[in-house]
Amino acid sequence: MKHRYLPMTEQDQKDMLETIGVSSIDELFSDIPEAVRFTGEYKIKPAKSETSLLKELGRLAAKNSNAQDYASFLGAGVYDHYRPIIVDHVISRSEFYTAYTPYQPEISQGELQAIFEFQTMICELTGMELANSSMYDGGTSLAEAGTLAAGHTRRKKLLVSSTVHAESQAVVQSYADGQSIEVVTIPHTDGVTCVEKLKELIDDETAAVLVQYPNFFGQVEDLQVMGDIAHANGALFVVSANPLALGVLTPPGALGADITVGDAQPFGIAESFGGPHCGYFAVTKKLMRKVPGRLVGETTDDQGRRGYVLTLQAREQHIRRDKATSNICSNQALNALAASVAMTALGKEGVKEIAYQNIAKTAYARQAFEKAGFDVKFGPAHFNEIVVDLKSPIKEVNKRLLGQGIIGGYDLSLVDANLANHALIAVTEQRTKEEIDAFVQELEAIHA
């Protein structure tokens, strides 16, 4: 069999079999019992050459409407943001992407240091004392925050705000099911967590209060009030934050968060149909030894030179096995690298600028909608998303928009029956004034 990934020659094969002392490769599989031996070949599609496979997959890709060809106003947890060109150049360096977990620090200093820098940047943005090297995504990161809290407080109830992303709520529920933890949803009023209801629901069985910042409806909630309530009841306060929004928003660490999680996708990571993205997980010092996943720490070598290693590994599955509190092994290292490069490129000034542009453009869109006679729901405290009543079923509206080169907002009737005809509209810095105006005009035309 000749294939560009397989260097074996007939002569090699002959020589190797001889060294092993067998006459055929088949003999090496003689330990597989006849009864379970698979003979023949898989009934799968035949191999394709590089050229024809590129063509075929190119055709499949072309069937998808993408954010390069369309102006996208779709967010709801995944955003079309500025992705500095340099990000792809760095993550394409194969010393990074063809390596695995840095088990051998002497030849993995590049990856280890990059993660150490990632951990630092996440701390800076979130105002937390330490951060791990990444989690699968924002949803599982939030779920693990919930189970951490339950383990830490030895309590079996989580209060999750209904303004948390619906899919993240569902993931929290699945993880909680595994550990027989009860999940209670806190209702919202006017697009924000109902604080009165939170006070009613919280009790001395509550392990944590989980909220989102900005929340699913784009609203920026007052964290401190909810954090205080959590703490007064001996519960942890968990915040799922969009890290890019933290360019302008007070960091959760300064507002009482014990755990801040989220997804770093807004920093240089492609939407990629929902994954891979990059969960992050940041905590206060007192929770350091409970953090799931890998942590990189600074140390020195035998000559006193600074270097980095995986550390505090006694928390992890490969050491603790069934006593581990998390099973995570592989994480999202390459995307943490991508996010680091994007955070570095934006830097101290850029992260403020980009966050500000998101708010300003969304505020502009809000006015434009109002001017055009659409009702924008909820208060003015938004980041880059608003809820707009488009007066017709969103599925139909979006179909018409697509014909005009626009990917419309998220259909909120999918998560809340009271929000039929309402779309969650995201306006990132990528959207130009022209696109926003055209979008509103199209909607007016549809409505007319």
Partner 1 sequence: MHNENQSLIFEISKAGRVGYSLPELDVPELDVSSILPKQLIRTEDAELPEVSELDIMRHYTALSNRNHGVDTGFYPLGSCTMKYNPKINEAVARFPGFARIHPLQDESTVQGALEVAYDLQEHLAEITGMPQVTLQPAAGAHGEWTALMMIRAFHEANGDTQRTKVLVPDSAHGTNPASATVAGFDTVTVKSNDNGLVDLEDLKAKVGPDTAALMLTNPNTLGLFEEEILEMAKVVHGVGGKLYYDGANLNAVMSKARPGDMGFDAVHLNLHKTFTGPHGGGGPGSGPVGVTEELAAFMPKPVITKVDDRFVLNYDVPQSIGRVKPYYGNFGIYLRAYTYIRSMGPDGLKAVTEYAVLNANYMMRRLEPYFDLPYTQHCKHEFVLSGRRQKKLGVRTLDMAKRLLDFGYHPPTIYFPLNVEEGMMIEPTETESKETLDNFIEAMIQIAKEVDENPEIVQEAPHTTVIGRLDETKAARKPVLRYTKEA
Task: Pick between residue 28 and residue 329 the one whose CB is nearest to ligand PLP.
Answer: 329
Q: Minimum CB separation from partner 1 for residue 322, in Å?
A: 4
* Nearest-angstrom CA–CA distance, 249 and 226: 16
Name which of ligand PLP, partner 1, none residue 410 binds, using a CB cut-off of 5 to 8 Å depending on partner kind.
partner 1
Among 71, 123, 226, 257, binds partner 1 (CB under 8 A): 123
Residue 10 makes contact with partner 1 by CB under 8 A: no
Radius of gyration of the chain (CA): 25
**Residue 326's binding partner, choosing from ligand PLP, partner 1, none, with beta-carbon cut-off 5 to 8 A by kind?**
partner 1
Give the one residue of 229, 259, 345, 388 binding partner 1; rule: CB under 8 A: 345
Q: Which of 117, 258, 385, 442 binds partner 1 (CB under 8 A)?
A: 117
Q: Which is nearer to ligand PLP, 132 or 398 (CB)?
A: 132
Cβ-count burial of 411 within 10 angstroms (0-12 exposed, 13-18 middle, 19+ buried)? buried
Q: In what order do the strands lie in the sheet with 385-389?
A: 375-377, 385-389, 422-426, 410-411
Per DSSP, helices labelled H in 180-233 are 195-201, 223-232
Question: What is the contact mask toward ligand PLP in residues 329 to 358, using x (rule: CB under 6 A)?
Answer: xx----------------------------
Nearer to partner 1, 162 or 325 (CB): 325
Residue 263's alpha-carbon distances to 37, 200, 232, 330, 350, in angstroms, are: 44, 30, 28, 16, 19
The 8-class DSSP code of residue 46 comes to: P
Q: How far is the CB of 243 from ligand PLP (least distance, A)?
A: 24
Residue 232 tokens read as: 């007064």
Tokens 């496979």 belong to which residue?
A: 53
Q: Contact with partner 1 (CB under 8 A): which of 203, 360, 375, 445? A: 360
DSSP 3: B
Under 8 Å between Cβ of 212 and 164: yes
Name the token pair of 124: 């800076």
Nearest to 16 by CA among 4, 5, 27: 27
Closer CB to partner 1, 186 or 334, in the complex:
334
Residue 124 interacts with which of partner 1, ligand PLP, none, CB < 5 to 8 Å by class:
partner 1
Task: State both tokens at 165.
Answer: 């992303």
From 194, 201, 372, 407, residue interacting with partner 1 (rule: CB under 8 A):
407
List the one residue from 234, 256, 275, 405 that touches partner 1 (CB under 8 A). 275
Q: Is residue 319 within the footprint of ligand PLP (CB under 6 A)?
A: no
Nearest residue to 212 via CA among 185, 192, 187: 192
Binding site partner of 61, from partner 1, ligand PLP, none, Cβ cut-off 5-8 A by kind: partner 1
Distance CA 113, CA 125 (A): 18
- Asked if 5 touches partner 1 (CB under 8 A), the answer is yes
The DSSP secondary-structure symbol of 98 reads T
Whole-number minimum distance, CB 81 to partner 1, in Å? 10
Beta carbon of residue 321, minimum distance to ligand PLP (angstroms, whole number): 12
Question: Which residues sit at the interface with ligand PLP, rule CB under 6 A?
Answer: 329-330
